[in-house]
Structure 1
Amino acid sequence: MYCDVSSVRQVAVYCASSFGRHPLYADVAAEFGRILAERNIGLVYGGSGTGTMQSLAEAVLANGGEVTGVFPSEFPRELLQSGLTRTIEADSLAERKELMLELADAVVALPGGFGTLDELFDAFSRFKLGFISKPCGLLNAGGYYDLLLKFLDQGVDSGLIAQQDREMLIASDDPAALLDELERVRSESAFRIG
């Protein structure tokens, strides 16, 4: 059960600017957006009005939630999601990542591609090293991240990834359970680092 007084007030979500081949991805993005709004947790995302990014943002807005879109200045304006609570223009992709992390209390990756993985592991490396107190999670919709998680376990077996580091990356196929766990870890890590 989640707390009404949450230390997770905004979540940076990384996901795809396409819908992919499975309707599940858009459905899960919309479900996650609905849950964020119901819990009064703001969404921070890349600002796109396409793909699962669109499904996510529209669900938050449709359920009365707040959405901040952070996009690089060279991003085509016609692809931006309309009706966002707030938009922030960054000078570069690197600055966008910085701003999104600055605004968020936790990070979640939905199914996505190279950009999603880049943003997730950049944030996770900072969290693992103790530079930020913003836990990171994978919403493993339809087993999308099963092979990635297996690869990380192989890294542990090979001695290249510490078991305790591997355990810090939260993964769940249940959006509500993932948020509950992020909240728990955020509370603990904020206390430890703060």
Structure 2
Amino acid sequence: MNDLKNICVFCGSSDGNDSAITEAAETLGKRFAEQHIQLVYGAAKIGVMGTLAKTVLDNKGKVLGIIPDFLKKKEVVHLGLTELVTTQNMHERKLKMQELSDGFIALPGGFGTLEELFEIITWLQLGLHNKPIGLLNVNGFFDDLLKMLETMVRKGFVSMENYNLLLVSNSVDILLQKMEDFKPPQLPKWLSEERT
């Protein structure tokens, strides 16, 4: 069982046009507060990110925001968080998110969300961390992405073991349970420290 006290959530800085996504962010935020899980996220007050943070805070939960200095100056930062960490750049922000989190969840979003998701799963694949990564597939948002990943498996670019590193559900509770039960994979020989 993984002790998930801090979960980093990657999600959109826009609201999108599907109310089910906003509702899922609110459900996740309430669950975090109920289960005393601190939200770690990108510190924005707008979009799905803002909805998620507001919900956690409204339900007396804790929120840690991590934002690079150049974005902080653009007035998108949420100033009512439990804690706010400012980094020099995007790379430092992602490293700090990884260091301070026990697991990761991707909600619907755009390029930035996908970039963060794929970087953190690549780090897991390479053994740079051993934390669970969940995909909350709200209203089929990620269906086409999952089909693309299946194509990558079929064409021999992603192993089935690495495909299965991504935990997927359309239910907040089921996804959190999968993350608690997650067992990290053994590293292949060529990545292990016992190289000859």
User: Structure 2 matches for 1:21-170, cutoff 5 A?
Assistant: 21-75=17-71, 76=73, 78-170=75-167
**8 A Cα contact 1:124 1:135, kept in partner:** no
Q: CA RMSD in A?
A: 1.8
Structure 1 residues 45-102: Cα deviation after superposition (integer angstroms, max 9, x where no partner): 0000000001100111111110000000011352111310000000001110000111
| Deviation of the 1:189 alpha carbon | 3.0
Structure 1 residues 102-157: Cα deviation after superposition (integer angstroms, max 9, x where no partner): 10000110000110011111110111222201111110001000000010011111
Greater helix content: 1
Question: What residue in structure 2 maps to residue 171 of structure 1?
Answer: 168
Distance in structure 2 (CA, Å) of the matches to 1:164 and 1:190? 8
The list of structure 1 runs, each at least 4 consecutive aligned residues, that deviate by more than 6 angstroms after superposition, is 190-193
| Deviation of the 1:191 alpha carbon | 11
Identity in percent = 37
Question: What residue in structure 2 maps to residue 16 of structure 1?
Answer: 12
| Structure 2 counterpart SS, 1:108 | strand
| Deviation of the 1:41 alpha carbon | 0.6
| Structure with the greater alpha carbon radius of gyration | 2
Distance in structure 1 (CA, Å) of the matches to 2:154 and 2:184? 26
TM-score, normalised relative to structure 1: 0.92
The amino acid that maps onto 1:189 is P
Length, aligned pairs only: 187
Question: What residue in structure 1 maps to residue 181 of structure 2?
Answer: 184
Distance in structure 1 (CA, Å) of the matches to 2:165 and 2:76? 34
Cα gap change, 1:52/1:169 in structure 2, threshold over 3 Å: closer, same or farther?
same
TM-score, normalised relative to structure 2: 0.91
| Structure 2 counterpart SS, 1:170 | strand
